[in-house]
Structure 1
Amino acid sequence: MAFGFRVGVPGMSVRVSTRGVRTSLGPRAARISMGSGGTRISSGVGPLYASSSLGGGRRRTSTSRATRSRAVAPSAAQLERARRQAARAQQEAERDAAIAQLTELRRQTTSVHLQSFTPARPPVVPGPQQLSLAWALAEAQAHHLAGLGVFARAARAAAKRRAEEDAPAYLTAEQTRLQAVHSRLTTEAGQWWQALLANDEEAVCEAVNYAFSDNPAAGCAVGVDGPVLSVVMRQQDIDSLPDQTPGVTPSGRPTLKTLSKRDRTLWWFTSMGSNVVATLKEAFAVAPGISAIDLAVLTRLPDTQRLGCVAYGRWTRQAIEAGPWRETTDALRFLDIGQDVACSVTTTASGNLSSAIKPLDISRLPGLRSLLDHAQDDTGSGDGTLAGLDGDLRANTPDAPSAPLPDPYRIRPFAEWKTQTAPPTPPAPAAPAPTPTLPSHSPATALMPGQNLVLPEAAWQELRIAFSFAGADADLTLFLTDTSGQVTCDKDFVFYNQPFAAHGAARLLGKQADGPHTVERAALHLAALPAHIQRVTIAINMDVDTDLTCGALTHAALYMDCVTGAAWTFQPPADPDIRAMVIAELYRHATNGQLVWKLRAIGQGWADGLDALARAHGVNIT
């Protein structure tokens, strides 16, 4: 309900309701109302009135219920039409797939001759893997340290020393053995290649048959007569071809039609020509010494279901390599470019191919006749079915080895090498022998100061160094330097606190008492040194804790040898004015275009001892 009262303006009334405040002008019969609810015109007589809004007020909305449509089921005719459309689409999809499959099959079987075959080249035998002294040292240490606890320090130290002594010999032995294996394989490969070039029957047939192992038409090389190779090829049976072929309807739509006898013969004949040309091309590529090939084609005859010869002839390398082989129809040219070619498929007077495939008379070919005669069935019938030969030609792929072939470059484990090749340890003498000053070898070459010589290659693999001295303590040191005589880093300085360098290619082996003398040994693997190391300086320095000079040495001698027994010795002067001395140096040198290692005796030094010696070779002394 609305509440209203009149004001002093004639004809104006104010109405207040929950929807706003309104003012009205005019008699009740026709009144205009204005207010927050919008402007309205009302009309009515009596206690009731009706009004309509002029806009701006809130409008009521109403929701009308939509009329629900009734679902109608498809008719039987519609369902049948949809079923026929789906079946037709399925048939067309299957037809298109069959057309694509048959088209690809025909392309594959008639385009084998379009392949190219890489000509044979002299075989290259890959070399063995490169071994390093670091690898040999790791193998030797693993062997000698086996079974030793981490706290057995003395035993582990002794084991490491034995490993350091064994590693160079182990490395040299394995490198020598692997190089011998590589040389043997290279020689065998060269002999095989020469036999192939000379048309050795065994070498040629083996190489050609291996190449034929993946051919679609099985082939087999059966003999060599001078530069002529004899090959038998097994052509696919004509009955194995499909019964349908792609075609086109009168309206131009693709379809499948029955393969006619004439078209079947043409397909099979083109496939045979393609296989013949491909077989000839591959055989000529594999056997470079062969200049002509006698080839016979066998297939299972459709009338008798027995194998028979359907084509033969001789083709020269020049005729096959002259080509060109670009189109599928080029395969039929094999009849025109061969010599004495015979084929069971002939051309009739009307220009069509004969549809009958009959075996050829091979009585005038004693070699082929003999081959076929030896392939008769066990039944002993006069007409051999050649079933045995058929099986042989279909299964000429080399069998996969049941076990992998042994690796000719297998690395012998250190333990195996130690057992097989390491010399036995000589028994300890019952009584101390007279003390030798140097290792006992064949007479060593004595060097004079400034003298130099070329080291043999055996010394590049392992050069043993021994410095024998008496009268005072001295230390052996090595400097691995570049062409300027400077080390590239402090790690190339080998001394008592750093006994290894260049991954073990240069190392100190420690001191040992040898009667009245002390001998400190070292070992060099010159061939394993990095390329930037051009020189190895062999030096000594007096004990830094004393003020003694080299004059305090009552005996000093440098001894070097290698595995062949070659040895060199040098006695440096006992100079009382120096405390460090370069005894000798090893350096790379080019002789007649070949890089060699040379040895030079020196015997000169520094009065300031080890510090001056190290600084002179580029070592940072702090």
Structure 2
Amino acid sequence: MARVSFKVAPGVRISASSRGVRTSIGNSKGRVSYGGGRTYASAKIAGVRVSGSSSSRSNSPRSNEGTQAARRPTLAQLERAERAAAQDAAIDELRRLEKSLVTLHHETFPSAMLHEVHVPVPVDQTAIRDNLKKSLLSTVGWFKFSQRRAANARAAEMAVEEAERLDAENMDLYHRYCEDARQSWDRLLNHDTETVIEALEAAYADNASEATCVDAGIEGGVRYATVVVVFGAVDSIPERTPTVTPAGKPTTKKRNKSDRNALYVAALGSTVLATVREGFAVAPSVDEFRIVVLRKDLNAATPSDFVAPIYAATFPRSVAEGLEWQKTDPTAALLTGQDAQFKRKGAAGDVVAIDLIEHRGLVELVETFRPLVLS
């Protein structure tokens, strides 16, 4: 609409436009105008006019800037968000580690096979010739063309001879390595004690829980290998477990003693199964594994209990091959081993050491390993 203005009283004027209705009070020396959520004042001082305005409209540019500033995250908000993200990440990592403890036996291990020796690549005659040329030409002047041609020809002949000699040596080594690999494979298949132990030691070198093959042999026509596993105490199980709040936010809660023991036993079972599974994969001659688990607990009541046997069993290959590894309950699987020695007590299911008086065969093994484990 067009702007309309009219005087209603001396010094008072009202104007209306598409922007709204405004009232102006004053004269040429000083005037105040207000309306539409905005107040404007002007005055003439010493011949100079000064003015200013203010706004109470929520949609004014100044009001918008203030709203945007209020929405900007503060350092404190960023810090809280970072802590929350770090906590969520830590809880996820805790959950992942707990799962890995009880699924070690899910891993597949490559079966042993005859070591492949790669055929050597023929040596580079060009490199040999260039080195020979450099050597022969170093004592020949630049302008002795006939001597330089002769040196180049000689270098080419010598390069052929040297390459043939090196290729022959490499092929000799290749055939020797092939024979060594074949003999080593035959020894492994024939259950040679030293070869079997070496193969198992190499396989167990990167295990989370220390494992070592202490014996291999044949007893009653059965080819066996004895493996000792060193396992931690129940104190190594975290006191808190991942969970979620009623609102679905990740958090942790304190684990009771029964739950702590349950996770400990499941981790023990998974470790035993993984040891057996890997052992059968790398030692094809072994018919059964005899597993002994020693618990290392420096917080035990007496020094004699710092290293104590908590599990012993025999796993025939037929039993291992019949397991569905992805579906096998590691806790229940501890008792699938033949002559399994494993004891828990109390309502919380504490794992207790095997009584050496009842199992004299373990005494020598424990006494041998105790100083090694404690060292």
Amino acid across the alignment from 1:293: F
Question: Residue 310 of structure 2 corresponds to which residue in structure 1?
Answer: 310
Paired residues of 1:95 and 1:256 also in contact (CA < 8 A): no
Measure how far apart 1:93 and its partner are: 4.3
Amino acid across the alignment from 1:212: Y
- Partner SS state of residue 148, structure 1: coil
- 1:389 correspondence with 2:365: no
Amino acid across the alignment from 1:209: E
Measure how far apart 1:83 and its partner are: 11
Amino acid across the alignment from 2:54: T
Question: Residue 47 of structure 2 corresponds to which residue in structure 1?
Answer: none
- Once residues 132 and 86 of structure 1 are traced to their aligned partners in structure 2, the CA distance between those partners, rounded to angstroms, is 62
- Once residues 190 and 148 of structure 1 are traced to their aligned partners in structure 2, the CA distance between those partners, rounded to angstroms, is 52
Cα distance change on mapping 1:168 and 1:85 into 2, 3 Å: closer
Amino acid across the alignment from 2:329: D
Q: 1:113 pairs with 97, 102, 105, which one?
A: 105
- Once residues 156 and 367 of structure 1 are traced to their aligned partners in structure 2, the CA distance between those partners, rounded to angstroms, is 81
Question: Residue 416 of structure 1 corresponds to which residue in structure 2?
Answer: none
- Partner SS state of residue 168, structure 2: helix
Q: 2:349 pairs with 354, 358, 364, which one?
A: 354
- 1:288 correspondence with 2:284: yes
- 1:331 correspondence with 2:345: no
- Once residues 308 and 198 of structure 1 are traced to their aligned partners in structure 2, the CA distance between those partners, rounded to angstroms, is 34
Cα distance change on mapping 1:174 and 1:250 into 2, 3 Å: closer
Question: Residue 229 of structure 1 corresponds to which residue in structure 2?
Answer: 225
Measure how far apart 1:276 and its partner are: 0.6
Cα distance change on mapping 1:158 and 1:99 into 2, 3 Å: closer
Amino acid across the alignment from 1:266: A
- Once residues 94 and 127 of structure 2 are traced to their aligned partners in structure 1, the CA distance between those partners, rounded to angstroms, is 60
Q: What fraction of aligned residue pairs are identical, expressed as a percent?
A: 29
- Partner SS state of residue 313, structure 1: strand
Question: Residue 162 of structure 1 corresponds to which residue in structure 2?
Answer: 154
The C-alpha deviation readout for 1:403-436, integer Å capped at 9, x for no partner, is xxxxxxxxxxxxxxxxxxxxxxxxxxxxxxxxxx
Measure how far apart 1:101 and its partner are: 2.5
Q: How high is the TM-score relative to the length of structure 2? A: 0.72
The C-alpha deviation readout for 1:32-76, integer Å capped at 9, x for no partner, is xxxxxxxxxxxxxxxxxxxxxxxxxxxxxx99554245999xxxx
Amino acid across the alignment from 2:300: D
- Once residues 359 and 112 of structure 1 are traced to their aligned partners in structure 2, the CA distance between those partners, rounded to angstroms, is 23
- Partner SS state of residue 345, structure 1: strand
Q: How high is the TM-score relative to the length of structure 1? A: 0.45
- Partner SS state of residue 334, structure 2: helix
- Partner SS state of residue 54, structure 2: coil
- Once residues 355 and 88 of structure 2 are traced to their aligned partners in structure 1, the CA distance between those partners, rounded to angstroms, is 44
Alpha-carbon RMSD across the aligned residues, in angstroms, is 3.3
Higher RCO (CA-CA < 8 Å; seq separation 6+): 2
- Partner SS state of residue 309, structure 1: strand
The C-alpha deviation readout for 1:189-219, integer Å capped at 9, x for no partner, is 1111111111112111111111111111111
- Once residues 191 and 268 of structure 2 are traced to their aligned partners in structure 1, the CA distance between those partners, rounded to angstroms, is 27
Question: Residue 67 of structure 1 corresponds to which residue in structure 2?
Answer: 54
- Once residues 287 and 136 of structure 1 are traced to their aligned partners in structure 2, the CA distance between those partners, rounded to angstroms, is 45
Question: Residue 176 of structure 1 corresponds to which residue in structure 2?
Answer: 168
Q: 1:269 pairs with 259, 265, 269, which one?
A: 265
- Partner SS state of residue 303, structure 1: coil
- Once residues 359 and 272 of structure 1 are traced to their aligned partners in structure 2, the CA distance between those partners, rounded to angstroms, is 14
Larger gyration radius, structure 1 or structure 2 = 1
Paired residues of 2:296 and 2:373 also in contact (CA < 8 A): no
Pairs within 5 Å for 1:409-488? none
The C-alpha deviation readout for 1:106-127, integer Å capped at 9, x for no partner, is 1111111110011011001112
Once the two structures are overlaid, the 10-residue window that deviates more, 363-372 or 101-110, is 363-372
- Once residues 320 and 268 of structure 2 are traced to their aligned partners in structure 1, the CA distance between those partners, rounded to angstroms, is 16
Unaligned runs of 5+ in 2: 1-32, 34-38, 41-51, 64-73
Cα distance change on mapping 1:84 and 1:136 into 2, 3 Å: closer
Question: Residue 322 of structure 1 corresponds to which residue in structure 2?
Answer: 322
- 1:197 correspondence with 2:189: yes
Question: Residue 571 of structure 1 corresponds to which residue in structure 2?
Answer: none
Cα distance change on mapping 1:286 and 1:388 into 2, 3 Å: same
- Once residues 362 and 112 of structure 2 are traced to their aligned partners in structure 1, the CA distance between those partners, rounded to angstroms, is 28
- Partner SS state of residue 155, structure 2: helix
Measure how far apart 1:88 and its partner are: 7.3
- Partner SS state of residue 179, structure 1: helix
- Partner SS state of residue 130, structure 1: coil
- Once residues 276 and 66 of structure 1 are traced to their aligned partners in structure 2, the CA distance between those partners, rounded to angstroms, is 82
Measure how far apart 1:182 and its partner are: 0.8
Paired residues of 2:307 and 2:366 also in contact (CA < 8 A): no
Paired residues of 1:234 and 1:390 also in contact (CA < 8 A): no
The C-alpha deviation readout for 1:72-105, integer Å capped at 9, x for no partner, is 9xxxxxxxxx999889767654543342232112
Paired residues of 1:292 and 1:316 also in contact (CA < 8 A): yes
Question: Residue 100 of structure 1 corresponds to which residue in structure 2?
Answer: 92
Pairs within 5 Å for 1:246-257? 246-249=242-245, 254-257=250-253
Measure how far apart 1:147 and its partner are: 3.2
Question: Residue 7 of structure 2 corresponds to which residue in structure 1?
Answer: none
Cα distance change on mapping 1:151 and 1:245 into 2, 3 Å: same
Question: Residue 208 of structure 2 corresponds to which residue in structure 1?
Answer: 216
Higher helix proportion, which one? 2
Unaligned runs of 5+ in 1: 1-61, 73-81, 376-385, 392-622
